[in-house]
Amino acid sequence: MKKLASTLPNMLISLGTITIAAGALLGWVYTVTKEPIEQQAMQQQVAAISAVAPKFDNNPETDRWETEVNGVPVTVYPAMMGDRLVGAAVKAASFNGFAGEIVVMCGFDADGTVRDYQVLSQAETPGLGSKMQEWFRDPAGARSVIGKNPASTSFYVSKDTGGEIDAITAATISSRAFLEIMRTAFESYRQYASTHGLDMATASGSDANSGASQQNKDTEKVKEEKKTEISDANSGASEHHGDKDHKEGKHKKKKDKLHYRESHRNENR
């Protein structure tokens, strides 16, 4: 067959046919893949929720509650047992990392103790900031956030004043963003509980904590100290709802804890 000459009608017909054929093919593939793609996204979501949240018998996806903190959308997926709130998975994000958006699914026990977390997406520097998925569950030093409660532990990097979480080596900016997400998630969870008339303190904090300390036996000592603190802080918070008392108590404790950590660190060395 001879090649078509480059006349205007030829060009129009040829290019037109090709684009129409391409469009038809794409349309067909789109309809075929539409459902699997949606299912895939749904599955990932559900997997992430059940990985971090305590056992639940409701459908967190349909019970979800959306809010916005500082212009970033936050979704709370409550975990219920019967009509009792046993915890939640909270999806929160931050743009304050080193590169792009960081999205984390944070899991909380009923009293707000961090149960687990999963980094859903991030574009931090490989080998530095990208370590966040492993780093903040490492029991070494004060890296781990698991088993700690943002109400009683200061979720800031230890470089910043009052911070009680160790930042990732050479990735302080990523660490700050991660902890910011944790704080946002915790605040949203607290908001959710208060706006829905659910009591955060019902499920005993000690239950959750003993579970966590079984996970990291090395840090049992630290955890035990935390346990008492958490219950203190909770009773304080629920009785007063006043910031002043709460803060004062917190301040005192922080001093003690800092002292404790110093000695603990020296032991390690």
Q: Please identify which residue in 68, 82, 83, 126 interacts with other proteins, judged by CB under 8 A.
A: 126
Closest CA to 264 of 139, 138, 114: 139
CA distance 142 to 203: 26
- Spatial distance between the Cα atoms of 211 and 55, rounded to a whole number of angstroms: 13
Encoded one letter per residue, x for contact with other proteins by CB under 8 A and - for no contact, window 30-69 reads: x--x--xx--x---x-------------------------
| List 26, 42, 140, 258, residue binding other proteins (CB under 8 A) | 26
Nearer to other proteins, 50 or 210 (CB): 50
- Residue 202 makes CB contacts below 8 A (sequence gap 6+) with 84, 85, 110
Give the one residue of 25, 42, 140, 258 binding other proteins; rule: CB under 8 A.
Answer: 25
Distance CA 29, CA 40 (A): 16
Q: Which is nearer to other proteins, 4 or 258 (CB)?
A: 4
Nearest to other proteins of 18, 258 (CB atom): 18
Length of the chain: 269
Three-state secondary structure readout of 38-55: HHHHHHHHHHHHHHHCCC
DSSP 114-174: EEEEEEEE--PPTTTGGGHHHHTT--STT---TT--TTTS--SBTTSTT--BPPPTT-HHH
Which of 60, 84, 118, 128 binds other proteins (CB under 8 A)? It is 128
Decide whether 5 or 269 has the Cβ nearer to other proteins.
Answer: 5
Question: Looking at beta carbons only, is 1 or 62 nearer to other proteins?
Answer: 1
Chain residues 167-186 in contact with other proteins, contact rule CB under 8 A: none
Please, which of residues 191-250 interact with other proteins by CB under 8 A? none
Backbone angles phi, psi at 92, to 5 degrees: -135, 160
Name the residues that contact other proteins, by CB under 8 A: 1-7, 10-11, 14-15, 17-19, 22, 25-26, 29-30, 33, 36-37, 40, 44, 125-128
